[in-house]
Amino acid sequence: MAHYNKRAASLTMCKIIQNQYFSLALILFLILFGAQKAWSAFTIDDEKKLGREIYDKLEQNNFLSQDKKLNTYVTEIGNRILSHSNKASFDYTFSVFNSSGINAFATPGGYIYINKGLITVVENEAQLAGVMAHELAHANSRHVASIIEKSKKLNIAMLAGIIAGVLLGGDASAALAMFSVAGATTMSLKYQRDHEEEADRLGIGYLADSGYYPAAMVEFLKIMKQYEFISKTIPSYFLTHPGTDDRIFYLDSLLQTQYRRSGGAKNIVGNIVRMQALIIPDSHDLGKRRGELIASLKKDPRNVDLLYALAITEEQLGQTNAALEHLNKALTLAPQDEDILKSAGMIYLKTGQVEQARFHLLKAEKINPENEQITLALGKAHFAAGDFKNALNCFLQLQDKKIVDAVDINYHIAMSYGRLNQQGESHYYFGLSFQKEKKKESALFHFRKALEFYPQGTPRAIAISDAIKELTAEKQKKPDKKPVQQQKASE
């Protein structure tokens, strides 16, 4: 530590941030944090337990996408490849990681994570499948477990502190600076060349056996090389999966020998363009994305997925009229498309065209009544139209759901009950809403008001009384600090 150069550490930290190395560092820290036992043997059961701990922490801290359509798509591809692999003794889980970094990784226990950023740069489904096949090969071969077993000299206490700082709302910059101090040690946790070679050899076999064209793996690596050349920034995939030039050469040799006559499909599960449209690019990339889509549409003007993707991009740019124009054109080609109907309805609602919004959202709901985003948008459209009864019905359906948009559904239920002049329920749900926001005084006010509308001993009165007792107990445990501050001021 005596020779530690602060300026170098700062530059290292910036480089880590720019290259979006953070997600890998976080995963490695989580792996180490979860390993409470001796490092000598890392069993299948250890992997399962640790993998679950990592997954739970990522989910609890909103690192994982909640988009059901996107997750279902990735899971279908993953399970298809898995069925053609030497599957390890895990219950595999495939997740989309909320990051624009171009990366993918496997953690112990059969957990495979694909960054949103990686999904947006592949040219077809086979290339995405190739990445997933590679990660599955790492998982099946237990490469991460092997790395952990060999990493016996790491300072667990320090790494645990970093995790706490990053995950529990601490200073991420300080955490990364701390990470740079341990750089020499943590760098040894990257995949070694023999790991990458084995994952490529097994992965390309999984890919071909799953029905995809094997050359997709090489194509993806070449896209990454091109991305590096254009952006002057190393894609995070290179940092977590080193030796790219060697990997391209090795995979090319397999294509020229073992897979020389292999065919295969570009798309099997679904159209990658539609999935990419579900991922909103960073604001500085929206204009570029729009230009690319317009160029693609000139070659294929009746492509529904391209029209949809263009409309979503234009809506993000604030070009709502253009977005609606392209959505309506797409609906002439695919009038029963759930995604297009939903998006058109939501834009109409946003622009105050309530009846048009309800028309499109009702059609979308008939196609898929289980889509929570449609139900939420339809509830808002009914409310805006003054149809509070139907609005309430929509919102009540979402009570126990984890909504993608992180909306507090209790607030919408409270507002609907209020407009229907059901004051007891309105106060009760306002109480739940404020309780969730940890605004105790406001929550207590509404719960006490709600209690006035229900006879003692009824189920609702009991629920309200329990909520009041809980909040009152919390207040007593954490006394208000204001009087102390006022006293200090007077002194």
pLDDT in the model for residue 230: 60
Could you tell me if 92 and 137 are in contact, meaning their C-beta atoms sit under 8 angstroms apart? no
pLDDT in the model for residue 180: 34
Could you tell me if 158 and 28 are in contact, meaning their C-beta atoms sit under 8 angstroms apart? no
Positive or negative, the CA dihedral 186, 61, 467, 479 is positive
pTM: 0.74
The stretches in the chain having pLDDT less than 70 are 1-42, 147-191, 228-236, 238-240, 242, 403-406, 475-491
pLDDT in the model for residue 405: 55
- For 103-148, write each residue's pLDDT tens digit: 888 888 899 999 999 999 999 999 999 999 999 999 998 887 776 6
Q: What's the CA gap between 455 and 128, in Å, rounded?
A: 59
Q: What's the CA gap between 402 and 71, in Å, rounded?
A: 15
Q: What's the CA gap between 257 and 251, in Å, rounded?
A: 10
pLDDT in the model for residue 262: 72
Q: Which residues pair with 93 in a beta bridge?
A: 111
pLDDT in the model for residue 70: 93
pLDDT in the model for residue 431: 96
